[in-house]
Amino acid sequence: MDGISDESPIEAKKTKSKTPRKPKESLLKQKSPAEFFAENKNIAGFDNPGKSLYTTVRELVENSLDSAESMSELPVVEITIEEIGKSKFNSMIGLVDRERVDAALYDDYETEKAREKRLAKEARAQEMQAKNAALGKKVKETHAPKVGKGRGEASFYKVTCKDNGKGMPHDDIPNMFGRVLSGTKYGLKQTRGKFGLGAKMALIWSKMSTGLPIEISSSMRNQNYISFCRLDIDIHRNIPHVHLHEKRENKEHWRGAEIQVVIEGNWTTYRSKILHYMRQMAVITPYAQFLFKFVSDAPDKNVSVRFARRTDVMPPIPMETKHHPSSVDLLLIKRLIAETSKQNLLQFLQHEFVNINKSYAERLIGEMGPDFSAKTPVKSLTSQQLVRIHQLLRQAKFDDPSGHCLSPAGEYNLRLGIIKELHPDMVATYSGSAQVFEGHPFIVEAGVSVGGKNVKQGLNIFRFANRIPLLFEQGADVVTRTAHKRINWSSYKINQIQDKIGVFVSIVSTKIPFKGTGKEYIGDDITEIASAVKYAIQQCCVQLKSKIVKKIQAREQQERKRNLSRYIPDASGAVYNVLKQMTQLPAAKKIRYGDDDVELLRKVSENLITKETLCEKLAKHVEQVDYEMALEYATQSGVSEEPRETIYIQSLDAENKIIDLQTPFFVFRVFQ
């Protein structure tokens, strides 16, 4: 028909849908560092509430130690974990408690059928126990049924850490805590942390789990005020959100920092880990004083542990160093060129790297080719030239870096820490010289103890990296594998199963080769470190073997003395009876005796020498022989005859002027 389209309605619809649309704008989004770590909090050790509580304590304690040590101040660290009940937490955030209206709505609701089933099960158990008791069988103690905690019923804790460190500048506090990946630890040096992430992650976790801000109090030397700051973090913009930032009066002239954060946690599960961490930290830092408290509404749950200072000798402050040429990559070379103040290539190589002097720098430049000269401006180097420099630095031969930039605990402190916390029967320590892996210097220190308090039988492994205890992922660690598989303990007179053996290994380096994102263990695949760990443990075992052998000899001497003393009465009686019979011999037979023998027989016959006299003389002889053997043993052991007494050096007043002459084994102190 005229005037009517041949297209069907469907076809018309299809035709309409083919109309060109305006292209959408780009949907690319950018995440802030704070947002990234909030979504991947396991990278920083915040896997679950319990681990988060442990990591928060650990990060705050280590920041406090770094702060005090940076100004050569003997650290005093107080850490308090306060349990916060549901009602108190709700009042802190301004939420009113509300009774449940629809109980069946909640995850921990128990239906009538489930309740009957549970009660029937408990009744059967009680009946069985009654029968066993009637038959005289051993009855197991019944425990109260566990009340299921709903998914929404979290546990909250207020963590407070107070120290006597150098404090923080007033204006820098917001950025130091409220901006992720901003810190003071980016130089090439031995540090406990690397990115200053720990305290910020505690703030992020607090914001995620409680929504409450963090509170910081700080006062620096020669400051007459206390900086107080209450803040949280804008996750999406990675900037601090400051609630209050003010200066307060400092009447007590306090110096240091105090950080307080409220987070979700799990004390019950991680109690042992946190206390174990504090104990190990007291071992590796015996010059620090720690006071740990756990405060709960139930007094029987309260914990208070004080780890006293036992020395005032601190390790030297680690120094920042320059990069070793064999350890750099192309990006690092570009960054060094962008930041250097040197103009030409010769000066750049000579001053931006270790172990490159002027003559060696000239040889390297000559090897690079005709496009390079000593006066080539470093800012004008092309990408191809930078690749050539990188290739040569990777292939050339350089001296190993020295370990002067490292700060190990030292044998003195390591030995003192082990004795202070474990009270072993014997201990040996060893500190190796600086070695190198991938251009980074490292030092391995080790200690091996036998016996002690609160030490279980077998191997007890204590691992430290840059003077930080490592508690997790122990099985794959180089120290654990070395101690279990590469040390033949029996050859050192040590029973690996029955003896209480403590193995302490501390590794310090400008770069610790951690495996995994948690930074909790050092891999077993780096030959240099594995060999150094094995050698350090072996050297400790060699020292212990000589002590154990001498101890065995002394024990054998005591056993020999005991056996001899046991037979003194019988031997004296037998000798006296023989002498008595000899006095009754005819005079003709006595002629063949010498004058001394005749005199002896005369004294016996006149009762001047009795059986008791012989016992006394024989006992003195045994005692004299044992004393001489013990004296010889003591002389070989390097021990004087005087009894020894354990003496600990107490902290000194600031006005005392002293000079410390340190050796690996002791510290000689001169008072001026």
Q: What is the pLDDT of residues 136-159, one digit of tens each?
A: 776 565 555 554 454 456 789 999
CA distance 471 to 13: 68
Summarize pLDDT for 236-245 with one digit per residue, the tens: 888 888 999 9
228 located within any domain:
yes
Same domain, 219 and 363: no
Domain count, the chain: 3
Domain containing residue 444: CATH number: 3.30.230.10
Q: Which two tokens stand for residue 423?
A: 């009270």
Asked whether 509 and 518 are in contact (CB, 8 A), the reply is no
Mean pLDDT of 310-314: 85
Interstrand relation of 435-437 and 76-84 (parallel, antiparallel or unpaired): unpaired
Do 384 and 518 share a domain, yes or no? no
Q: Specify the pairing of strand 500-509 against strand 256-265.
A: unpaired
Residues 424-479: tens digit of each pLDDT? 988 999 998 888 888 788 999 999 999 888 888 989 999 998 888 998 888 889 99
Whether residue 474 sits in one domain with residue 385? no
Tell whether 163 and 233 lie within a shared domain. yes
The answer to whether position 584 is within a domain reads no
- Per the domain annotation, does 48 fall within a domain? yes
Q: Is the per-residue pLDDT at 18 higher than 70? A: no
pTM value?
Answer: 0.72
276, part of any domain: yes
- In a domain? residue 599: no
Which residues define the annotated binding site for ATP?
63, 163, 184-185, 193-200, 519
* 429 found inside a domain: yes
pLDDT at residue 257, as a whole number: 92
State the chain's mean pLDDT as an integer: 80
DSSP state letter for 353 = B
Highest mean pLDDT: which range of 8-12, 155-159, 172-176, 309-313: 155-159
Helix-helix angle 383-395:330-339, to 10 degrees: 110
Assess contact for 471 and 277: CB atoms under 8 A: yes
Whether residue 51 lies inside any domain: the answer is yes
Of 370, 395, 420, which residue is a domain's last?
Answer: 395
DSSP type of residue 437: E
Q: Given 549, 576, 593, which residue is the final one in a domain?
A: 549
Distance CA 235, CA 106 (A): 31
Q: Which helix (H) or strand (E) holds 61?
A: helix 49-69
Annotate 239-306 with DSSP letters as a single string.
Answer: EEEEEEEEEEE-TT---EEEEEEEEEE-HHHHHHHHHHHHHHHHHH-TTSEEEEEEE-SSGGG-EEEE
Report whether 38 contacts 208 (CB < 8 A). Answer: yes
Tell me the CATH number at 240.
3.30.565.10
- Tell me: do 415 and 390 sit in the same domain: no
**What digits encode the pLDDT tens for the residues 57-108?**
988 998 899 889 888 899 999 999 999 888 788 877 777 767 777 777 777 7
Sheet with 303-307, strands from edge to edge, namely: 239-249, 225-234, 214-219, 256-265, 155-163, 76-84, 289-295, 303-307
Q: Does one domain contain both 294 and 350?
A: no
Of the three residues 549, 582, 615, the one that is the final residue of a domain is 549
**Among 411, 415, 447, 413, CA closest to 537:** 447
* 512/440 same-domain check: yes
Confidence at 663, pLDDT banded by 50, 70, 90 = low
Domain contains 663: no
What is residue 592's predicted lDDT score, i.e. its pLDDT? 65
Higher pLDDT, 266 or 626: 266
- Tell me, yes or no, whether 203 and 295 share the same domain: yes
User: Measuring CA to CA, which residue among 410, 407, 345 is closest to residue 373?
Assistant: 345
Same domain, yes or no, for 387 and 440? no
274 in the same domain as 391: no
**Domain that residue 158 falls in:** 33-91+153-307
For residue 85, the tally of other CB atoms under 10 A from its CB is 12
Say whether both 423 and 540 belong to one domain.
yes
In SS3 terms, 493-554 reads as CCCCCCCEEEEEEEEEECCCCEECCCCCEECCCCHHHHHHHHHHHHHHHHHHHHHHHHHHHH
Q: Which residues are annotated as a binding site?
A: 63, 163, 184-185, 193-200, 519
Distance CA 215, CA 232 (A): 9
Amino acid at 249: E
Q: 284 and 353 in one domain?
A: no
Residue 37 · residue 43 · CB < 8 Å: yes
339: domain CATH number is 1.10.8.50
- Please report which residue ranges of 70-197 form alpha helices under DSSP H: 86-92, 112-134, 173-178
